[in-house]
Amino acid sequence: MQRRSFLVGAGSAAVGLGATRPRVTTGASHVAPGRLHQSVCRWPFEDIPLDDFCREARAMGLEAIDLLFPDEWAVAHSHDLAVSMGYASRRPRLIADGFNDRGMHETLITELEEAIPVAAEAGVQKLIVMSGNRRGRTEFEGIAACAEGLRQIAPTAERHGVMLCMEMLNSTVDHADYDADSTRYGLEVVQAVGSPSFRLLYDIYHMQVMEGNVIATIRAHSEAIAHLHTAGVPGRHELDESQELNYRGIASALVELDFEGYVAHEFNPTREPIAAIRQAVDVCRV
């Protein structure tokens, strides 16, 4: 799938890269946010109470908190932060049980039918979905099943202005047997679903582990990518000089693309966590 041949449904301009979330305009942070919309994922920093975490995030110029459960959304909003990506529920095995399993479709579709209107009402414009683990399926079977299930829920997402984002993960280091372990897999699902309310969460760390060529991939397929996660390679740690990715270069390329989605930091800190997040924000502040 090349950029010029990528087909999207009607209304993509309204739901795509240029209109993914409301801007945070009230309150005051202590630093200029730069030209990218930066966020931070909650789960690597769960030892910090959520109120304190939000307060620190706001102070360093972040616009949002990423990967929050529905009962946490109001906490972020109380600190004048958006929720850049939400979970639909606290269901167990959120990663391993996904849309590639037709036996999960009823559960997942019911879950999203309930969550999408709630997310829209709360101003949460993106919800994460997963392919699930392969469990002996061929890639062709997994893509077909994902597309079949997502086509059923896409009209609800379109009506409410909520985008569903599938994340690709590496299957060699962190998530053995995960099905959507390449950009190509995600692109084929996007093409088959054919909805402006379904796009990709491109995790830079995971895709560097699996295939590399990060900047060129994002440039070639920017219409399909609505959200980004960051972490250092190898190790999934800080965005510093100990890892191989040039995140300042990646951030500059995103600015050149006029990328309007969120860049959400999702790394496991090896040092004081707030200082580590602040350093990552500074690297991507271009």
At residue 24, φ and ψ (nearest 5 deg) are -85, 120
**How far is the C-alpha of 259 from the C-alpha of 251, rounded, in Å?**
10
Burial (Cβ within 10 Å: 0-12, 13-18, ≥19) of residue 202: buried
Instruction: State pLDDT tens for residues 211-262.
Output: 999 999 999 999 999 999 999 999 999 999 999 999 999 999 999 999 999 9
What are the beta bridge partners of residue 39? 64, 264
Give me the sign of the Cα torsion angle 200, 206, 209, 212. Answer: positive
Query: Is position 8 within any domain?
Result: no
Give me the sign of the Cα torsion angle 215, 58, 239, 87. Answer: negative
Burial (Cβ within 10 Å: 0-12, 13-18, ≥19) of residue 155: exposed
Residue 133 DSSP symbol: B
What pTM did the predictor assign? 0.90
Query: Is position 17 within any domain?
Result: no
Average pLDDT, the chain: 91
Token output for 129: 């979905």
Given this model, what pLDDT does residue 5 score?
A: 38
Give me the sign of the Cα torsion angle 123, 112, 171, 219. Answer: negative
Given this model, what pLDDT does residue 33 score?
A: 64
* pLDDT exceeds 70 at position 13: no
Query: Is position 145 within any domain?
Result: yes
Query: Is position 165 within any domain?
Result: yes
Query: Is position 197 within any domain?
Result: yes
**How far is the C-alpha of 175 from the C-alpha of 188, rounded, in Å?**
21
**How far is the C-alpha of 74 from the C-alpha of 68, rounded, in Å?**
10
Instruction: State pLDDT tens for residues 151-175.
Output: 999 999 999 999 999 999 999 999 9
Domain span at residue 260 reads 36-272
* Residue 58 identity: R
Query: Is position 220 within any domain?
Result: yes
Residue 231's closest CA among 218, 217, 244? Answer: 244
**How far is the C-alpha of 162 from the C-alpha of 150, rounded, in Å?**
13
**Residue 198 belongs to domain with CATH number:** 3.20.20.150
At residue 202, φ and ψ (nearest 5 deg) are -95, 105
Query: Is position 9 within any domain?
Result: no
**How far is the C-alpha of 49 from the C-alpha of 57, rounded, in Å?**
12
Query: Is position 7 within any domain?
Result: no
Q: How many domains is the chain built from?
A: 1
